């Protein structure tokens, strides 16, 4: 009997030990809304790969693309609840949490992606990663997508061409003001609903990056794309401050290392992936690409730039000046 009891308790200990080992594994969920074949989708997969290489069985990273788990309007609250550990909404989606990040939506703020990197890597950009700490969110990095293009079911060459048209926009007051500045009608809508809204004519147009236009097939349901490069669509990868600070230091260091490497990876591949996807849209022959003349470009700039004054109070002129300095 004693032997049997001993054997049973050894077996029990083994089971308990296994359970403990299993429960010690940290499950890290990363939810986003775009397709895997985008800069953010590729960066997220690289993060999983590196985190699991660096930390072995101690972590299990699960990536949920394509709005499978949360839309961007829900993901930040889900991070705070602990339902998911990382998200990377576009910088246009943080209006409820901080007004400072509205800077990134100002039309014609950055002349190219080098200027964007200059600002994000500088003091002001780095401070903005902490702009939501008071709300329990920490930014752990910026990931690029790229500059936005305008598309519609009619050719947009001059700002007056947009008058009266309905555009799907991300949930940003700055972007709403940008379309109102050209007498268009902005409609805030989840990314996941955009394709069908374009297809059914609920909206006439939208603005997005080449990568999103390609991977979500918006080009198949838009007759014209104007290569306007009029604004930025980039991301902040965010996590819960409390969860992050409460992690075992070894795990936090490993995840921080994986995040740093995946940030470099995603930002390194963005430009090439986007130019491939731009070319694929052109080669599809499904839509006509319009290039703006110098005067046409200036007309859009002139029409949209007054939006800066509407938001400079909330954003802070010092931030706008720091961004503008990166263009020179
Ligand atoms: C959008 O809603 O258009 C984008 O923010 C989607 C994304 O994550 O790129």
Q: Calculate ∠ Cα 305-149-40, nearest 5°.
A: 110
What is the distance between the alpha carbons of residues 315 and 294, in angstroms, rounded to a whole number? 29
What is the distance between the alpha carbons of residues 255 and 258, in angstroms, rounded to a whole number? 5
Burial class (CB in 10 A: 0-12, 13-18, 19+), 293: exposed
Closest CA to 214 of 278, 290, 291: 278
Instruction: Tell which one of 208, 209, 211 to mutate to probe ligand 1, the residue whose CB is within 8 A of the most ligand atoms.
Output: 208
Does the global pTM surpass 0.80? yes
Residue-level pLDDT at 17: 43
For residue 170, how far is its CA from the centre of ligand 1 (angstroms)? 7
Closest CA to 73 of 150, 188, 234, 244: 188
With a 6 Å cutoff on the Cβ, whether 170 touches ligand 1 is yes
Beta strands in 66-221 (DSSP E): 86-87, 137-152, 166-169, 185-188, 205-209
Residue-level pLDDT at 59: 98
With a 6 Å cutoff on the Cβ, whether 145 touches ligand 1 is yes
What is the distance between the alpha carbons of residues 300 and 293, in angstroms, rounded to a whole number? 11
What is the distance between the alpha carbons of residues 188 and 174, in angstroms, rounded to a whole number? 11
Distinct helix (H) and strand (E) counts, the chain? 13, 10
User: Across-strand partners of 132?
Assistant: none
Which value does ipTM take for this structure?
Answer: 0.99
Residue 187's Cα: distance from chain center in Å?
19
Which token pair is 223? Answer: 């007759």
Residue-level pLDDT at 256: 98
Residue-level pLDDT at 147: 98
Closest CA to 93 of 203, 188, 206, 28: 188
pLDDT in tens, the chain (328 residues): 455 555 555 455 444 444 444 447 999 999 999 999 999 999 999 999 999 999 999 999 999 999 999 999 999 999 999 999 999 999 999 999 999 999 999 999 999 999 999 999 999 999 999 999 999 999 999 999 999 999 999 999 999 999 999 999 999 999 999 999 999 999 999 999 999 999 999 999 999 999 999 999 999 999 999 999 999 999 999 999 999 999 999 999 999 999 999 999 999 999 999 999 999 999 999 999 999 999 999 999 999 999 999 999 999 999 999 999 999 8
């Amino acid at each position: 009997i004693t032997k049997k009891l001993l054997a049973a308790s050894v077996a029990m200990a083994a089971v308990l030990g296994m359970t403990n080992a299993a429960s010690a594994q940290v499950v890290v969920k990363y939810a986003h809304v775009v397709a895997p074949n985008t800069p953010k989708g590729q960066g997220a997969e690289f993060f999983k790969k590196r985190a699991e290489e660096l930390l072995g069985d101690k972590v299990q990273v699960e990536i949920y693309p394509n709005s499978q788990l949360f839309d961007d309007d829900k993901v930040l609250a889900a991070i705070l609840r602990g339902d998911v550990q990382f998200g990377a909404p576009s910088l246009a989606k943080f209006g409820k949490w901080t007004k400072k990040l509205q800077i990134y939506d100002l039309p014609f703020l950055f002349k190219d992606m080098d200027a964007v990197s200059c600002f994000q890597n500088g003091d002001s950009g780095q401070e903005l990663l902490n702009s939501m700490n008071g709300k329990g969110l920490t930014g752990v990095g910026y990931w690029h997508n790229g500059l936005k293009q305008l598309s519609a079911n009619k050719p947009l060459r001059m700002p007056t061409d947009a008058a009266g048209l309905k555009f799907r926009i991300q949930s940003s007051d700055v972007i709403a003001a940008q379309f109102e500045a050209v007498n268009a009608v902005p409609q805030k809508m989840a990314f996941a609903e955009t394709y069908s809204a374009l297809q059914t004519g609920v909206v006439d147009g939208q603005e997005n990056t080449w990568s999103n236009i390609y991977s979500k097939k918006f080009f198949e349901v838009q007759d014209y794309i104007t290569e306007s490069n009029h604004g930025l669509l980039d991301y902040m990868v965010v996590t819960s401050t409390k969860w992050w600070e409460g992690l075992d230091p070894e795990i936090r260091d490993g995840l921080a290392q994986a995040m740093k490497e995946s940030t470099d990876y995603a930002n390194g591949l963005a430009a090439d992936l986007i130019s491939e996807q731009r070319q694929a849209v052109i080669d599809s022959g499904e839509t006509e690409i319009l290039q703006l003349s110098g005067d046409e470009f200036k007309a859009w700039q002139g029409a949209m730039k007054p939006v800066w004054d509407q938001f400079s109070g909330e954003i802070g002129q010092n931030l706008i000046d720091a961004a503008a300095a990166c263009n020179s």
